[in-house]
Chain A
Amino acid sequence: MSRAPAYSDVQAPIYLAFWRTPFFRAFLSSPSGFLALFLAGILFATALLAPLALTKEEVYQRNVRRRLEGPSADHILGTDNLGRDILKRTLYATPLSLQLALSAAGMAIVIGFAAGAVTAYLPGRLRNVALRLIEIMLAFPGILIAIMLVAVVGTSAEGAVLAIGIAFSPSLARVAYTLAAGVAGLDYIASARVLGLSSRRIVARYIIPNIAETLIVVSLNATAAALVAVSSLSFLGLGVQGTQFDWGRLITEGVLRLYQVPLLALAPATAIGITGLTLGYLGEALARGLNPTLWTQTASVQSRSWLQRYFSSETMLLSGSALLLIAFYFLPWFSPDALDPNRTLVTGAAILAGRANLTETAIGSQVALLLLRTGAWIALLLGFLSYFSLRFRRLCAYLGLICGFGAGSYFVSILLADSTNLGAALASARLGFYLGLIATILLIAQVFSDKSATTRGSHNVIHPTSQASVVEADMSLPRPLLQVRGLTVRFDLESGAIAPVNDINLDLAEGEIVGVVGESGSGKSLTALALAQLVPHPGIVSAHYVRLRGEDITRMSAGQLRYFLGSEMAMIFQDPMSSLNPALKIGTQLTEAPRVHRRLSGKDLHRLALDRMADVHISAAERRLRQYPHEFSGGMRQRAMIAMGLMNSPSLIIADEPTTALDVTIQAQIIDVLREINQEQGTTIMLISHDIGVIVEICSRVLVMYAGRIVEDVKVTDLLTTDKHPYTEALIAAVPAFDSNRDEPLASIPGRPPDLDNLPAGCAFAPRCKYVFERCHREAPPLLHVEETHRIACFLRTEPPAEATRE
């Protein structure tokens, strides 16, 4: 404390105050951290103070005249079968319960961690045996092992601790083993060994920090589990004995008298529940605090004020409605005994129907109580729903009001019921009820007529944007199969929106093979996914139109779309192993699409599959169809993928890096298969690749993408002869020997690939362009025709500056 002033006005990041460290911020970044501290404080204080504040007398003294009482001013939670105060006994049991749980957990942790660590360093065969043993022990229910152990060590508090400690150690041993084995294999440990550090230092400096997070969380979980297990044993009568009592033992007494004094069991049960929750929250918050990768995530949460964080409407409503429920559950025990809590609903309904045959004293209160009970239930339910939807949030807020009316009238009626003014009690209860009824009707009418809260655009559906003007079809292709205008994919991230695919216009002619080339991150794969409407969440796709065979798929219903794309478009992905379902036979995967879309089955379907397998040159197709993907070689799998795509005779195949995962000879085969299909069946192919060599080999035209835009659209035959976009030039220059040797690693293009978060103002390529001039920084170059079949987005080519032409 004395040092504090010296640093108070210095912005030294190294001397962060504890509560400003990323650890602590992450710890507190969600309500669970706050709750954990709060509850842990209360528990700790109770454990310390309860034995001091409560005399033995208060806890043990019997008072038979006041046994099994409900809550009253003397005994807040009532009394047990010997007339002792339930609350005091529950509090008094705190230190013992915690102490037993902690010692059992401590024992399990020590035994388990030691066993696990030793196992990890055993020689191979022995280690396997030890592991198997641990696994076998894990297979048995822990509580059963504990019960058996209790039989051996004897029924006592110490026995229970011992039994739980041993019974729980296998699971901790396994965690410790996994951690130790993982850490021992890490490179830096090996290098530390080479450097000659002693084992002790290696453990202290490298191993402990690396596994601390998991160990702490696991230990806390073990403590929670131990608490439960020890109380379970006590509850069964196998733990704490004699005059001692912990929560488990209190519950045993309570369960026997559940019908008379429910609180006798509920109070210690709640105590266990709260302690378990505390430990759970603590573990959660500590894990968050100790995991540096979560620190940055929480930063965005930090930007809201802590008030907003903790008292956001949902937290408030959730806890509020839960409190309401609890309060109203226990209220009846505080109220005049005229009320029968079990009959509220029935009698309430009877009263409303005018059929009640009750003494008048009860009626007013009954009506109010009915209102309260149902209100609280509905409020709780809506509270949960309100968490998900704005509509329910409002409904819940209003219901709170109704409950308020109800509560008010309830208390009034109780007060009046004591005096003899029954008419007034009844009237006040009725008033509350009718007011509530009117409010409900009004509110339901209002909430459900309020559409603004619920309309939200659905994601992943291409819908025309209205901002930019539609670029007219400006390419005179013979028979256009696919026409795309203004295709954009947007991601709204917390750091701002990015558009990895930005205003793409392209046409594909029937029977063409068109390549799309670009570095990773250029948006080429996402363009393919957007065309196929498979963009992952939370991407938002928009377009003026996407016409396939003249039909605009952006205006189709989901059902139409499924049928249309299912038969007109097929996709082939990069990694055939992961793209085929490992658990299904190739035949099943081949035939499922035509079964759905063309309603084929039986022999026809089988023949079709055989034909397609023949198309892609898979021999012994009959047998192959019955095999699983893992029985195929890599190239064969990709062919099976292609055959699968061909099943419905699509007019367009989009192949996303179909050769990248394969080795060179197989690549050539796949390319051949694609070319053959194109020639024999006239299928249009859009081939996406980062490898311009592959594209040149098979395509007639190539689209070059950079930072989400098409920067060049050119015939492959013109690629080597005409003036190109500077990026295309660089791409070609990066291929060593253009059309022969693709084994060699690609020379890379100078400069860094574009960062979509942070694109330069004008031309996205400007930072890496060697021709860059002043205008490039000001405007983004549009994609314009330089020839009939050649489009470029570069000022240098479309509107060359005066100096450039002079040179």
Chain B
Amino acid sequence: MTSSQALQRHSADSGTLARLTSRLGPWPRFLLKRAASLFVVLAMLLALTFLLIHLAPGDPAVRKAGIDASAEQIEFERKALGLDQPLPIQFIRYVQGVARLDFGTSFITKQSVTEILQQRFPRTFQLAGTGLLIVMTVSVPLGILVGALTREGRNRRLEVAFMSLTSTSSALPEFLTATFLAFIFAVTLNWLPVGTTQKSTAIILPAISVSLRPVASLARVVRLETLNVLAQDYIRTARSKRLPTYVIFTRHLLPNVLTAALTIGGLVFAGLLGGTVIVENVFAWPGLGQRVVDAVFNLDYPVIQGIVLYFGVIVVLINTAVDILLALVDPRTLVLSE
């Protein structure tokens, strides 16, 4: 099979990095590489967010000082922001600031960005976390169930229904889902509240809106993987051993399917985070997404920088975590990832 071929090919491989690290075990080597790529990506993130303020039209100092500020005031702000320094120095200052968790202060509200992050992040986390929970608990069982029912071309109708349902719902943008859901459950039926965070049920609609799209796409992946695994010879072997169906599903199918789900888990989570930005604005959910849109509106650069960086770091960390988790679950990826 391909994995064993890859294994052999790898052992014959003598790339520079492989030679350098060949004395290490697979795990340290793997972690080292992950750490290296984590570092590179973080550096890129820093550079990008730093450039943001310089690429943007207009003078940040003017924005900070206000439109009717005097020349001295603007000059003062320019100094305060460090804009009078050469670019490399500015960048170093920026990185130093980030390392101290100091992202500057908002131009508009004069609040420190760190404080904003502290205030807003728990809300976003709550929303994204609940969304992720929904995604995992719905799409994996759904995908496996539909996969099992439609294996070997059974239940064509179910397959068609599933495909059209998932393609429709994965094409529905979050703000539409949110609008429709709010209309049905909040306005028409009056079952659930919107526009508040006071009630514990208030999270239901935002969380569903955020998770619908990922649920649909993940369920499709899980179904495909289920079909794929069910067609494998080793499933036939398991059946020839007359194992009860639940054993076949939990022991032989589930690990493989979960691995597949995990592989795109990073992307799904990124999509989920993107969704929260929109949904927070529909439901007036006071998280980072709502704040970043406000900031863009007002060209409040430090806040944009801080929030984008924050989101970026989360995405990168999650992806790294997924990679490590994958390697734990399936040791073959340790070697294959190189």
Contact = CB atoms under 8 A, between A and B. Distances in A.
A148 interface: yes
A211 B207 CA distance: 39
A599 to B, nearest CB: 13
B301 A151 contact: yes
A140 B252 contact: no
Contacts of A538: 152-154
Contact of B271 (A141, A151, A254, A566): A141
B171 A573 contact: no
Contact of B236 (A570, A579, A630): A579
Contacts, number: 207
Interface in B166-200: 167-168, 171-176, 179-180, 182-183, 186-190
Contacts of B180: 266, 269
A353 interface: no
Given A144-B274, A583-B330, A537 B154 contact: yes
A142 B274 contact: yes
A434 interface: no
B105 interface: no
Contacts of B242: 561-563, 565-566, 593, 596-597
Contacts of A588: 251
B270 A630 contact: no
Contacts of B174: 232
Contacts of B183: 258, 262, 265-266
A596 B179 contact: no
Contacts of A417: none
B171 A280 contact: yes
B143 interface: no
Nearest to A593: B241
A136 interface: yes
A327 interface: no
Interface string B94-125: 00000000000000000000000000000000
Interface string B290-302: 0011011101010
Interface string A263-307: 001100100110011001000100000000000000000000000
Given A155-B296, A277-B171, A577-B1, A384 B241 contact: no
A231 interface: yes
Contacts of B44: 136
A151 B187 contact: no
Given A144-B273, A147-B293, A388-B157, A566 B241 contact: yes
B232 interface: yes
Contact of B179 (A255, A342, A565, A575): A255
Given A139-B266, A538-B153, A593-B241, A254 B179 contact: yes
B267 A138 contact: yes
Contacts of A577: 1, 4
A597 B153 CA distance: 31
B53 to A, nearest CB: 9
* Chain A binding surface, main DSSP class: helix
A184 B237 CA distance: 39
Contacts of B140: none
A579 B237 contact: yes
B255 A238 contact: no
B157 A269 contact: no
Contacts of B233: 573, 575, 578-579
A273 B190 contact: no
Interface stretch (B66-74, B78-86, B130-138, B304-312): B304-312
B93 interface: no
Nearest to A332: B188
Contacts of B296: 147-148, 150-151, 155, 238
A641 B41 CA distance: 46
| Most chain A beta-carbon neighbours within 10 Å: one of B151, B168, B172, B240 | B240
A236 interface: yes
A609 interface: no
B239 interface: yes
B135 to A, nearest CB: 15
Interface size class of A (residues with CB under 8 A): 35 or more
Contacts of B161: 384, 387-388
Interface string B17-61: 000000000000000000001000100100000001001110000
A148 B52 contact: yes
Contacts of B273: 141, 144
B332 interface: yes
Contact of B234 (A136, A144, A237, A581): A581
A410 to B, nearest CB: 18
A277 B170 CA distance: 11
Contacts of A584: 251-252
A341 interface: yes
B274 A571 contact: no
A630 B173 contact: no
Contact of A570 (B1, B56, B240, B247): B240
B255 A273 contact: no
Contacts of B173: 228-229, 231-232, 272, 276
A16 to B, nearest CB: 29
Contacts of A575: 233
A534 B172 contact: no
B179 A237 contact: no
A235 interface: yes
A581 B293 contact: no
Contacts of A237: 293, 297
A251 interface: yes
B332 A630 contact: yes
A235 B243 contact: no
A138 B269 CA distance: 12
A154 interface: yes
Interface string A130-164: 00100010111111100110111111000000000
Interface in A546-579: 561-563, 565-566, 570-571, 573, 575, 577-579
Nearest to B182: A258
Interface in B127-161: 151-155, 157-158, 161
B215 to A, nearest CB: 17
Interface core residue of A148, A262, A575, A596 (most chain B CB under 10 Å): A148
A397 B244 CA distance: 40
B316 interface: yes
A630 B281 contact: no
A537 B152 contact: yes
A154 B52 CA distance: 12
A291 to B, nearest CB: 16
A532 interface: yes
A588 B247 CA distance: 12
Contacts of A254: 179
Contacts of A534: 236, 239-240
A534 B244 CA distance: 14
Nearest to A343: B190
B315 interface: yes
A615 interface: no
29 contacts: A136-B41, A139-B270, A140-B270, A147-B293, A147-B308, A151-B56, A232-B278, A235-B175, A236-B278, A238-B293, A254-B179, A255-B282, A258-B183, A258-B186, A262-B188, A266-B179, A277-B171, A387-B157, A387-B161, A566-B241, A579-B234, A581-B234, A584-B251, A584-B252, A592-B238, A592-B247, A593-B242, A630-B1, A644-B241
Interface of A: 132, 136, 138-144, 147-148, 150-155, 224, 228-229, 231-232, 235-238, 248, 251, 254-255, 258-259, 262, 265-266, 269, 272-273, 276-277, 280, 284, 314, 341-342, 384, 387-388, 532, 534, 536-538, 561-563, 565-566, 570-571, 573, 575, 577-584, 588, 592-593, 596-597, 628, 630, 641, 644
The 6 A-B pairs at the shortest CB distance, nearest first, are namely: A141-B274, A566-B242, A537-B152, A228-B173, A578-B233, A571-B240
Given A238-B297, A258-B183, A580-B237, 17 more contacts: A139-B270, A143-B275, A153-B57, A224-B171, A265-B179, A266-B183, A277-B168, A384-B161, A563-B242, A571-B237, A583-B256, A583-B330, A596-B242, A596-B247, A597-B242, A630-B1, A641-B237
